[in-house]
Amino acid sequence: MSEAELYSDFHLLPLTETLDEIESEFSKHLFLKAIMNGVIIGAVRAYRQGDTCYVGRLVVHPKFQRQGIGTRLIEEVEKIFEDCTRFEIFTGHKSIRNINLYKKLGYKEFQVKVVSEHLQYIYMEKTKERTPCKVNNCI
């Protein structure tokens, strides 16, 4: 909701996505959630394509923001997809807190896409060197 308010657009996909649409992504995406006292207070999705892990839909309940939950969720995705050499995430151009978080985690802007006259997506990536193989005959 905070992003929708920021952009004055309450038709953003996370707000309009149906339960069936979300459930269909379970087979393609990893879903992680942060839970406190039995209540989901944060979540993130990710999937791998080639050597890239695409991170998306990072959300943290407003009462729990700025407590490291988003950071921990992204770091957990990076651990799970540790064999990826590239991680990609995007956010809207007005989402300064998101952009600053991603920068703090080592992500750098590499592309801006104009979606409408009121919205631009800022694409950010984090790359790492491939770890040399320590086993004979590996590819």
> DSSP label at 130?
P
Q: What is the pTM of this model?
A: 0.79
CB 71 within 8 A of CB 107: no
Tell me what pLDDT residue 137 has: 53
Report d(CA 44, CA 40) in Å as an integer: 11
Q: How many CA atoms lie within 13 A of 64 on its CB side?
A: 17
The domains found in the chain, sorted by start residue, are 2-127 (3.40.630.30)
pLDDT of the chain along its 139 residues, tens only? Answer: 555 455 555 555 555 566 676 666 767 889 999 999 999 999 999 999 999 999 988 989 989 999 999 999 999 999 999 999 999 999 988 889 999 999 999 999 999 999 888 888 899 999 987 655 555 555 5
CB 1 within 8 A of CB 15: yes
